[in-house]
Each structure stands twice: as structure tokens, then as C-alpha cells.
Amino acid sequence: MSRIVIAIDGFSSTGKSTIAKQLAKHLNYIYVDTGAMYRAVTYFAMENELIGEGFFHSEKLIERLDEIHITFKFNEALGFAEVYLNNKNIEKPIRTLEVSKYVSPIATISEVRQKLVEQQQLMGKDKGIVMDGRDIGTVVFPDAELKIFMTASAKTRAQRRYKELLERGHNLSYDEVLENVTTRDRIDSTREDSPLVKADDAIEIDNSDLTIEEQIKTLLELAESKA
Ligand code: C5P
């Protein structure tokens, strides 16, 4: 069977990464979480006081993009690759609600997107990759053999995200999470550069009422039919 590129796009907290990770494992493919890369840039911006409550120095961030080196290292115990910023493991701190709050404005900057898209295309040049994000099927790999567009109701998504954050020990309210999910979706879908849209040839899957096993089964069948 030939190795293909699988692009999984969709709104925030549709469970894309859970599915993409497991799919990659089944197929023995590389999995790349592109959201983690935008979160890494956001983390850099926050650490260097380029974004925060009431300020956003986007021009300064653009000037400093060369200082940002993002890598992934596979963690055997966890079974997936963790993200590193300039050799520092930032897998945990990039998942906070604070980073989630600033990431969509950061992701509107074309220079940031250009840098990350270039790196993503390099990672997928030998195929055998599952990549999830917002613009994978439209911009990063417009020729991907299999494109999936995941959806679920905003409430279902906020519930999932809320549960996940609580389990990780974050102290926040459901309303804060719902507000973050809907705000990010709005910014991501309306930005000028690479807005979140379903590619014409993407297959839409609403997973509000689907188990993880059901989704994996469907995706494995689809992947087999394309390989
Ligand atoms: O996937 P995740 O929710 O971690 O992504 C965080 C944010 O990164 C998204 O809300 C979006 O603003 C941005 N993003 C993007 N393009 C991608 C992946 C993520 O703009 N390919």
C-alpha cells in the first residue's frame, strides 16, 4: 500500500488531534499537530511580552521570528511527539486557556503562517503523515490524498474541552471555555490569510454522536481506499 498524506481540518476542540494521533499510530505514520506550532509562537510572544492583556506588538514579533525554532520529539511513554520551543519542552504550558486566548490573533499574521507552513510542508514531503489544523487541506497540502473536515456542535466541543482542562487541573468555568471556543472559531474562519474553510474535496464528519472507535474505523477505511 502506498503512503499518503492525510489532512484533518476543523473547528476548535472537535477532537481532531485525538483521532489524528490514533490514526497515525494504526497506519505507522507521523502525526503533526500544527495547532501546537501556532501555540508555540504564542508562548514565545507571551514570554517576551509581545502579547498580553490590552497589547499586541505584532511588528516586533515579526522581526523576531528567526529566534523561534519549533521541533517535535517522540515521547515513548506518552506515545506521541511533544513540542519543543528552542529545545525546551513546552507541551504542557501551551495548553492553558491563556495561550488559547492569544493564539488566534497570532495566527492571523501572514509572516507567522508562512514560516510554519514551510516547515509543515517539509515534514510531509515524504508522505506517510497525518496532519491536523485549520488550513492543511486548503493551503499546506492542497493535493493531499485524503482530506477530512471535522465538525461537532459548539456545545459538544466546549464540553469536551472543559472536561479535558479540568482533568489537567486547570481551574476555570464552562462559560469561559465556551467563550474561548466560539471566539477562536470566529477569528479563524474570518481572517484574511488562510481562513478555516472546508476544502471542496474534503469529507465532512460530524462527530457529535460518534465514538472514537467509530471515527477511527471510518477513517482507516477511507485511508485504505486512497492508498
Ligand atoms: O488545534 P488548536 O486548537 O490547538 O489550534 C490553536 C489555534 O492555532 C487555532 O485556534 C488557530 O487560530 C491556529 N491554527 C491555525 N492553523 C492551523 C492550526 C492552528 O491557524 N493549521
**Per-domain residue ranges of the chain:** 5-226
C-alpha to C-alpha distance for 151 and 103, rounded to whole angstroms: 20
C-alpha distances (whole Å) from 223 to each of 34, 129, 140, 152 are 20, 11, 19, 22
Query: Residue type at 47?
Result: E
> Residue 1 C-alpha to ligand 1 middle, in angstroms?
31
| Binding-site positions for ATP | 10-18
pLDDT attached to residue 169: 87
pTM score, two decimals?
Answer: 0.95
Instruction: Give the CATH class of 5-226.
Output: alpha beta
Closest C-alpha residue for ligand 1 atom 11: 104
Pair 161, 177: CB distance under 8 Å: yes
- Nine-digit cell string for 111: 509572516
pLDDT for 221 beyond 80: yes
Cα dihedral 199/27/92/34 (nearest 10)? -30
Query: Residue type at 183?
Result: T
Closest CA to 13 of 182, 202, 146, 210: 182
C-alpha to C-alpha distance for 10 and 149, rounded to whole angstroms: 5
C-alpha to C-alpha distance for 34 and 129, rounded to whole angstroms: 12
- H helical segments located in the chain: 16-27, 34-47, 58-63, 97-106, 110-123, 154-167, 174-190, 212-226
**12 CB less than 6 Å from ligand 1?**
yes
Pair 33, 22: CB distance under 8 Å: no
Pair 60, 49: CB distance under 8 Å: no
pLDDT for 92 beyond 90: yes
Q: Is 32 helix (H, G, I), strand (E, B) or coil?
A: strand
Residue to probe by mutation, ligand 1, list 101, 134, 190, most atoms within 8 Å of CB: 134
The residue behind cell 501555540 is 39
163-218 pLDDT, tens digit each: 988 998 888 899 999 999 999 999 999 999 999 999 999 999 999 999 999 999 99
pLDDT attached to residue 168: 86
Compute the half-sphere exposure of residue 211: CA atoms within 13 Å on the CB side of its CA: 3
97-147 pLDDT, tens digit each: 999 999 999 999 999 999 999 999 999 999 999 999 999 999 999 999 999
29-50 pLDDT, tens digit each: 999 999 999 999 999 999 999 9
C-alpha to C-alpha distance for 83 and 73, rounded to whole angstroms: 7
> Residue 181 C-alpha to ligand 1 middle, in angstroms?
11
